[in-house]
Amino acid sequence: MDYFNEYTKNFDLSEYKASYKYYHSIRVMDDMEIIARNMSLPNYDVELAKCIGLLHDIGRFEQYARFKSYDDSNLDHGDFGEELLRKNNVLKNYDINESDYEVVYKAVRNHNKFEIEDGLTERELFFAKMIRDADKFDILYAFGNKETRKIFEDDDSEISEDVKEAFFKNEVIKRNSHITLSDEKIMLFAFAYDINLNVTKEMIKSQELYHKLYDRLDNKTKYQPYIEHIERYINERDD
């Protein structure tokens, strides 16, 4: 925690978009702890999970300072985060066995990718899945709980046909260049299709995150079929 606080002092956190990532990191650390404890992991693994949560977006701060944007086509913040951790030997500041450094690196590198890369060990894969869940959980939480200033303004944009089609086929939606503001909402709703752990799914359900998201939407009729579909999916998915 101390390293993270010291490191982030190098950046102007008075700007909302930068401070958002600071608090997101803290919340994801807490979510990782909740998930890990719910899975009855040993204490050391809980600490490892928390460390991954805290550091997963470490690449965001410099990315924002350099580009004033979170667009990963400028700089992939997962790859860049891993690079920072390695270069500055950051993990020596945390109580983590050296044999687990790769677990952290691979979780950070894979947290923001469309899919987890092949070739991970079982342990690396497990923590990569956990951070992807905790990250998505917090993004859904933030949009539904006024942590974000406003759920993206509503505009008159159409929901693209390919986005609509993928959504109702229960597929995660890929970001592309012609994505509309309405598509972005559908993309967020579709996060549930990429939740790995049953524990996370139960947290989304018990906190009624989709219901809270729906409450914050301006144009409810436009999105109602989507919210209903995703709520049904999450309630009926059984794993």
**Which residues of the chain form contacts with Fe ion (CB under 5 A)?**
57, 112
The Cα–Cα gap between 180 and 106 comes to 31
Q: Given CA atoms 156, 193, 113, 200 in this order, what sign does their dihedral have?
A: positive
Select 47 or 72, whichever has its Cβ closest to Fe ion. 72
When CB distances to Fe ion are compared, the closest residue is: 57
Q: Which residue has the tokens 């690196």?
A: 105
Select 23 or 168, whichever has its Cβ closest to Fe ion. 23
Q: Which residue has the tokens 């549930």?
A: 192
The Cα–Cα gap between 135 and 138 comes to 5
CB of 212 to Fe ion, least distance (A): 22
Which of these, 70, 31, 32, 64, lies nearest to 48 by C-alpha position? 32
Select 77 or 201, whichever has its Cβ closest to Fe ion. 77
CB of 57 to Fe ion, least distance (A): 4
Which two tokens mark 82? 């891993």
Determine the angle formed by the axes of helices 58-67 and 16-38, rounding to 10 degrees: 160
Which two tokens mark 142? 């933030």
CB of 61 to Fe ion, least distance (A): 11
CB of 191 to Fe ion, least distance (A): 13
The Cα–Cα gap between 19 and 176 comes to 27
CB of 109 to Fe ion, least distance (A): 11
Select 112 or 182, whichever has its Cβ closest to Fe ion. 112
Select 78 or 214, whichever has its Cβ closest to Fe ion. 78
